[in-house]
């Protein structure tokens, strides 16, 4: 079996011997952090939940203090490994009681896409801040309902856009904003891997909301926006399916899509579950270019521009993400690129439009 997380983990395997730089300001010589800490419960103790939990051990501003799972054996294992008290452990059935627990500030929802809406809304009603893995929901309507619920409850909703904090990515965004590439002209985003086990939830329409587009393709969608610095206004798309048994109705195998932006920039992107070695962003401007390859793997990200190789710090993405999100929630800080629920809804509107374009064969207008 191979999932996106297995694939991205292999891309980052060579980072194992590199120094951990979880909090850049401290590594730069700032005094050790001595301020409020975001106390987090993780909902969904699968592969990625485990990765986040491990990364959080190095956080300065965020701490893993609770778990939510439907598997008692996992709860017991996490209690022992991470020192989580019984009172901070919940099942999906009794989760709503978390509202009476003052020792948990936020819940990180890392369950299948089709469950995000329910779990985030329950989190909001319990009065806890919500961090939700991407894609935030299975369509824009559900995503907006999540945003509205969190606003009504007076809690924050953040989306797990770890790349919005990754140093190589942030440096290219800085260069683009500074005009170092000149007028942007073109973007290419390639995101894909060959998926394994046909029984996994990512190939279940109800749980995943689709196929590769709802898993790996969202990286190229979101990446096109932060690399170009604009939001798209139209899309065309084409779907290819070579294995209709594995990729049933509503579960996309491969989609190529083209985005148009207000300035005239175009983007050519690909999302696939059919083949490997696709993790590359390429940006072209009148004065230069930028490339990230790998562009979204767990690390190390590698980049170069017309000025040479990028040598930004190598970080554990989830450690930096969680510390940064703690700063957003507790101190009102801003992310280099937004990570709020509205950002998540924009990506979902684009995904909805991509599916419509692939189905109809027509150019579809995007209104964000």
**Residues with catalytic roles:** 134, 219
CB 22 within 8 A of CB 323: yes
Instruction: Report the length, in residues, of the chain.
Output: 368
Buried b (16+ CB within 10 A) or exposed e, 245-276: ebbeeebbbbbbbbbbbeeebbbbbbbbbbee
End-to-end CA distance of the chain: 37
Helix, strand, or coil (residue 337): coil
SS3 content of the chain, % helix, strand, coil (to 5): 40, 20, 40
Beta-bridged to residue 80, according to DSSP, are none
CB 94 within 8 A of CB 126: no
Tokens of 79: 């209690």
Q: Tell me the C-alpha distance between 54 and 59, whole Å.
A: 10
- For residue 294, is the peptide bond before it cis, meaning its omega torsion is within 30 degrees of 0? yes
Which residue, among 81, 131, 147, 175, has the nearest Cα to 318 in the 3D structure?
Answer: 131
Instruction: List the alpha helices (DSSP H) in 268-340.
Output: 317-331
Q: Burial, 86: exposed, middle or buried (Cβ in 10 Å; 0-12, 13-18, 19+)?
A: exposed
Measured at the CA of 11, the angle between CA 10 and CA 16, to 5 degrees, comes to 75
């Amino acid at each position: 079996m191979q999932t996106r997380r297995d694939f991205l983990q292999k891309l980052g395997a060579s980072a194992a011997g590199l120094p951990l730089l979880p909090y850049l300001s401290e590594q730069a010589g700032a005094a050790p952090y001595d301020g409020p800490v975001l106390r987090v419960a993780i909902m969904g103790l699968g592969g990625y939940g485990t990765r986040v939990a491990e990364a959080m051990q190095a956080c300065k501003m965020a701490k893993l203090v609770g778990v939510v799972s439907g598997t008692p054996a996992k709860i017991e294992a996490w209690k022992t490994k991470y020192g989580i008290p019984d009172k901070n452990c919940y099942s999906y059935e009794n989760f709503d009681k978390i509202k009476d627990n003052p020792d948990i500030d936020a819940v990180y929802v890392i369950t299948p896409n089709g469950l995000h809406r329910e779990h985030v809304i329950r989190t909001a009603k319990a009065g806890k801040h919500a961090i939700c893995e991407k894609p935030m929901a299975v369509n824009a309507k559900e995503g907006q309902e999540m945003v509205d619920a969190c606003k009504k409850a007076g809690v924050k909703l953040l989306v797990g856009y770890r790349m919005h904090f990754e140093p190589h990515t942030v440096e290219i965004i800085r260069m683009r904003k500074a005009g170092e590439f000149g007028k942007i002209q073109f973007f290419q985003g390639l995101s894909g891997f060959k998926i394994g086990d046909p029984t996994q939830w990512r190939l279940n329409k109800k749980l995943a909301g689709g196929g590769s587009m709802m898993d790996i393709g969202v990286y190229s969608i979101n990446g096109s926006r932060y690399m170009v610095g604009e939001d798209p206004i139209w899309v065309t798309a084409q779907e290819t399916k070579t294995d209709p048994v594995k990729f049933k109705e509503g579960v996309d195998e491969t989609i190529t899509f083209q985005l148009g932006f207000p300035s005239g920039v175009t983007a050519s992107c690909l999302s696939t579950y059919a083949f490997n070695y696709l993790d590359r962003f390429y940006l072209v401007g009148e004065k230069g270019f930028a490339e990230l390859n790998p562009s979204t793997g767990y690390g190390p990200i590698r980049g170069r521009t017309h000025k040479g190789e990028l040598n930004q710090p190598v970080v554990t993405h989830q450690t930096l993400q969680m510390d940064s999100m703690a700063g957003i929630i507790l101190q009102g800080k801003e992310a280099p690129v937004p990570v709020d629920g509205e950002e998540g809804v924009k990506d979902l509107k684009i995904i909805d439009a991509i599916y419509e374009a692939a189905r109809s064969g027509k150019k579809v207008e995007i209104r964000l």
